[in-house]
Structure 1
Amino acid sequence: MAADSDREAGTDGPAGKRGAPVLPELDVEDLRDRWQRAVAETENLRKRYERQMDEVRRAEQDRVTAAWLPVVDHLELALQHAAADPKAVIPGVEAVCQQAHALLALLGYRRIAGVGEPFDPAVHEAAQVREEPGAAPGSVVQVLRAGYGSERGLLRPAVVSVAAKPEE
């Protein structure tokens, strides 16, 4: 009883330090059981999170694939009509190309190209430097492969030819 009144009063007693909280006695088996339950619950949460992330990835993959299917359909149509009238294929392929560019823009990817723009090593990769009369030195004179980027960053740099600086 004296020990209980010492603890309540906040004085030194059998608990040791003045004002130290008194914890209930827990046996080792109870602590081990609590620890094992916490570990198991954490593992279950991790597995649930992984399943949810897989579902999100699959849903996004399905969404993007479904958006590309009309482009594939139109390319297949162009190939079917190629045998009948090869010259008619060119406008069809150009239309499909425009459709693909529009889809990339809809997905948030802008095209990085642009003849006449100054060369920017952050978005361009120079494949060649060549003399180009009338072009500003250091400007893009030909896009060999367009690049793409989004607000998150560069997906692929544009591969370009750059106008040479005139020799002095």
Structure 2
Amino acid sequence: MSKKDKKDKKIKFQDEISELQNKYLLTLAELENTRKRMQKEKTESLSFAIENTISEFLPLIDNFENALNFANDSSEEVKNWAMGFQMLLSQLKDILHNHGIVPYHSVGNNFDPHYHDAVEIIESNEHEPGSIIEELAKGYKSATRVIRPARVKVTKQTLEKNQDVEDKKNQPQIDKNENISGCIEEENCCKNTEDENSCGSENDQDKDSMDQDPLDQDLKKSKDENIKINK
């Protein structure tokens, strides 16, 4: 085997080695990406499972809070019982907090269908349309999604206010039409006045001609003819 053949064979082997190395690195990268993707899916699935399970306990937390609010106006014996329920409620809230689930405030904010569930719409002129005026049940969310939307009451404009707004929108158009109509009538009036003045002037000239003495008319006519002859 000549030196040239050996050199070509060596180059060929080096190319094959380089190609195999690239394929090996590519396979490692794909395996690593697959491992990360599976780990992420596993974490998300576990997180969703925990969040869905916790969401079943949210009505229980609502009942605890409502009962404790009622207990504040009750007897001392009931208040003592309420202290134990308060401890249970605190433990439940700690579990929510440990899993990144927290309540969010809604009253005073604008309605957002992603975060709120409107259970009642109330007509009001004291608040902006779409404002939340009362929260019937708290909303809870995690870092990635809403666990339970808040159940709220939302405001809208009253019919009287809507009618006033509609009248204001139509008012400029009415005024504009009235102005256009007035201008047209004024223009026609001015035109009629000019025609009347013109007709009056012609009538005055005709009247002056009729009132002039016939002799004066003959003298004027003769004078005009002499002027033409001299020319």
Q: TM-score range by the shorter chain?
A: 0.3 to 0.5
TM-score (norm 1): 0.46
Choose between structure 1 and 2 for higher RCO, CA contacts under 8 A separated by at least 6 residues.
1
TM-score (norm 2): 0.36
